[in-house]
Amino acid sequence: MRTLGMRWYEEGVKEGEYERAKKVAKNMLMRGLDIKLISEVTGLSEEEVKRIKEEVKEEIKNN
């Protein structure tokens, strides 16, 4: 039986892994790498990588 604290910890770990994958995806996109490759390397869906790509475009446009 998992305690509430264990669930919070697991959720925190998952969120941290997701944020790390997003950061790696952003770096790969900024280097012009292919969405499919980024998806395979990070474990993010191609749709998520496309959303991140749009975020990167906005960040570049606003700077």
Question: What b/e sequence results for 26-42 when a residue is b if at least 16 CB atoms lie within 10 Å of its CB, and e otherwise?
Answer: bebbeeeeebeebbeeb
pLDDT of residue 61: 87
Q: Where are the domains of the chain?
A: 4-62
pLDDT band at 14 (very low <50, low <70, confident <90, very high): confident
Specify the 3-state DSSP secondary structure of 7: helix
pLDDT of residue 60: 84
Q: What tens digit of pLDDT does each residue of 15-60 get?
A: 889 999 999 999 999 999 999 999 999 999 999 999 999 999 898 8
